[in-house]
Structure 1
Amino acid sequence: MRDKWTLEELKAYLLIYAMNADKKLTQEEVEVIKRYVSPKTFIKVHNEFDNDKHHQRIEKINAAIKSLNLTKNEIQNLFYDVEEVFNADKDFSIVERNIAIGLKRILDF
């Protein structure tokens, strides 16, 4: 695990996490993510995400939030971006709802 992520890398990881929640990747979800992060960051972080196990993903998200020392407002804004990915395909599934609840707990807001 890298020692420190940038805010863009954390955002990319969270958005990719959301995109993969229901195991149905859509072009709409990818387009939302690409509005928020650079193509280079998307590819780099997506490759890292694909190589991580579920528990590693949670640990990395927690570690990045702590190391970036984000305010509640910044965390809330990140979650709003995550919600946009969940809603991109117009199908906010029960799995995505459960992941959203879990992310709120992880993000502590």
Structure 2
Amino acid sequence: MKTIDWTRDELVAYILLFAANSDFKEDNKERNVIISKVDMQTFQEIHDEFDNDNDYQGIKKIMTSLEQHNYSKDDIDILLADIKVLFFSDGEFNTLEQNMLRFLEKLLKN
């Protein structure tokens, strides 16, 4: 894949949106967690892009952008902690979310 012209905030917003949609619903509490990490304009722009991507495109974009931004192990750990906060924000950590967390841990730590 070519380069992705995302800022670090846009990358974080995309990854959190990807995670939030793992159970096929994105509730207001999850949106609020994402907006607490990035500004509203970034959230909306990335949300529009996310809505137009399939899972494969999303994964490729995430991997390309992580590489471009030279994410360190510590950066990945912080990102995974944010994902956990997102998953617990609605008071439920269901099987789909648990599976997505495992998947993202493997994907991001490669």
Q: Please report how far the alpha carbon of residue 64 of structure 1 lies from its aligned counterpart in structure 2 after TM superposition.
A: 0.7
**1:6 CA drift (Å):** 1.1
**Pairwise CA distance, 1:2:** 5.7
Tell me the residue number matched to 1:43: 44
**Distance in 2 between residues matched to 1:32 and 1:79, nearest whole Å:** 13
CA distance in 2, matches of 1:5, 1:24: 25
| SS of match in other structure, 1:46 | helix
What is residue 62 of structure 1 aligned with on the other side? Answer: 63
Specify every segment of 5 or more residues in structure 2 that has no aligned partner in the other structure, as ranges.
none
Q: How does 1:64-103 map to 2 (within 5 A)?
A: 64-103=65-104
Residues 3-40 of structure 1, C-alpha deviations (whole Å, 9 max, x = no match): 33211011000111111110122111111111000000
The residue that corresponds to 2:17 in the other structure is 16
Return the TM-score normalized by structure 2: 0.93
Matched pairs, number: 109
Which whole-Å CA distance do the structure 2 matches of 1:36 and 1:64 have between them?
17
Q: Is the 8 A contact 1:15 1:33 kept in 2?
A: yes
Normalized against structure 1, the TM-score is what? 0.94
Gaps of 5+ in 1: none
* Distance in 2, Cα, partners of 1:65 & 1:77: 13
Residue 79 of structure 1 and its aligned partner are, at CA, apart by: 1.0
Opposite residue 100 of structure 1, the aligned amino acid is L
